A and B are shown apart, each in its own frame.
Chain A
Amino acid sequence: MIHIQHLNKSYKTAAGSIPVLQDINLHISKGDIFGIIGFSGAGKSTLIRCLNRLEEPDSGTIRIAGKVITELEEKELRQARQKIGMIFQQFNLLDAKTVYQNVAFPLEVAGYRKAFIREQVRAMLDLVQLSDKEDVYPFQLSGGQKQRVGIARALVNQPDLLLSDEATSALDPQTTYSILELLKEINRQLKLTIVLITHELDVLQHVCNNMAVLEKGRIVETGSVDKFFLYPQSDTAKRFVHIIDHYREKRNVWEGAGAGI
């Protein structure tokens, strides 16, 4: 589904050129929920934003669903983006539009007829359980409801791929859980591939099948989520999982001593 080869990206600043992604190679299968984890500043957002070219890579190739994204012209790129949904930490809904109009926007951009748009938007709002909020403005919604609108907007044009950049990081644990459940449900129902960025183990453990660890702009580890928790290899992975090990040891000590908690 997604093939990334030798991807490089650096930011030019007054102090010179700072490499942010270095020789990224990654393969993500169709239908997977793929997590990318790393500490703040590791380059996670830059990587996911290269996938729909919100950031322009310096070099390397990205292939998504057979299309070489990195070679597309403006117009082709806009068409490709219609089939790559994206959700954001800050939701990024339009204040001037109602829930309905926000979700309808991608379909209007794609030039569909009104009747078709109505049908699709209604079905999408039904899926994210916001049918009763159609004519409400985003301001009136809770964080979780806003992200549901964001998800509906990202999926209404039936994309092959959903990109999620810390989509639950602004939400409380309970709302995070319900949004993650929704993503899992959508992945199952629509056979949608999801690439999800997070710095939270919870999120990773709850929804992802496979994953990669990003450390200072390099992928230092990739494989199944189970393998990551059981046999962390990289420094970053060990630092993430360390706390779990800490308690596992504690438990062993307790149980060895016959003590209860």
Chain B
Amino acid sequence: MNDDLIDLLWKGLLETLYMVFWSSLFALVMGIILGVTLVVTEKGGIYPAPAVNKAIGTIINGVRSLPLIILIVLLLPLSRLIVGTTLGPTAAIVSLSIGAAPFLSRIIENSLKEVSAGKIEAAISVGATPFTIIFRVLIPEALPALVRGITIGIIGIMEFSAVAGAIGAGGLGSLAIRFGYQRFREDVLISTVILIILLVQIFQWSGDSIAKSIVKKRYKFE
């Protein structure tokens, strides 16, 4: 192992973590807002609004049907507008957040839908407001499923970031392509792949552990 390999990997790793962290955060905020809105506004939901539901659903499906690479290209002007450039990890955060938000919305929607209608009705029957039901019933009851879903979402963003690397986003993905593919540096290629695999494992393991500890607390026999 030579020094330049370590330097390259370290820089790539930091860039990837930077992109994944901020993209996940923004995508999660958008995903939770949209996912909760979808569940709440659906027919028979706690605040039915079919028009809103339909509109959000259509936009989400539209964005999701675009291949990621095309979405990134489409969003380049927006990146320029927000962060002043179309290159580098910060620019990629814009595309990655928007690209991942619809995916996360659906994951969150599905997790929330698992909460039985009966529990919601019990809350309605004691006079709870929709706001209380969302934050005190819906989200806490769905928490293990939410954590699992969000883990899948973050790993997805990690994969997205590697794709974005191909068109100048930086990070491990871009390392693999610039050095491993274009300059035949097999050592870079292989170490990058190992690093990515390790990262995914760590994310998955962390998510699973959190979900498991919640489940264990609620569903254990003494």
Contact = CB atoms under 8 A, between A and B. Distances in A.
A78 B128 contact: yes
**Residue among A81, A85, A90, A92 with max Cβ neighbours from chain B (10 Å):** A92
Given A81-B125, A82-B126, A157-B126, A90 B132 contact: no
A105 interface: yes
> Which one of A52, A84, A90, A96 has the greatest number of beta carbons of chain B within 10 Å?
A96
Contacts of B122: 86, 88, 92-94, 153
B116 A82 contact: no
Interface string A70-97: 0000000011111011101010111111
Nearest to B129: A78
Interface in A47-67: 52, 54
B136 A105 contact: yes
Contacts of B141: 94-96
Given A94-B137, A96-B143, A137-B219, A106 B119 contact: no
Contacts, number: 73
A10 B218 CA distance: 40
B125 A52 contact: yes
A231 interface: no
B87 to A, nearest CB: 45
Interface residues of A, number: 29
Interface in A17-36: none
Nearest to B117: A92
A81 B140 contact: no
Interface in B111-164: 116, 118-119, 121-129, 132, 136-137, 140-141, 143
Given A92-B116, A94-B141, A54 B124 contact: yes
Contact of B118 (A81, A88, A137): A88
Given A105-B123, A137-B219, A153-B122, 19 more contacts: A52-B125, A78-B128, A81-B124, A82-B126, A82-B127, A90-B118, A92-B116, A92-B119, A92-B121, A93-B119, A105-B128, A108-B136, A109-B128, A109-B132, A139-B219, A139-B220, A140-B220, A140-B222, A157-B126
9 contacts: A79-B127, A86-B122, A94-B140, A95-B141, A105-B123, A105-B128, A109-B126, A137-B219, A153-B126
Interface of A: 52, 54, 78-82, 84-86, 88, 90, 92-97, 105-106, 108-110, 136-137, 139-140, 153, 157
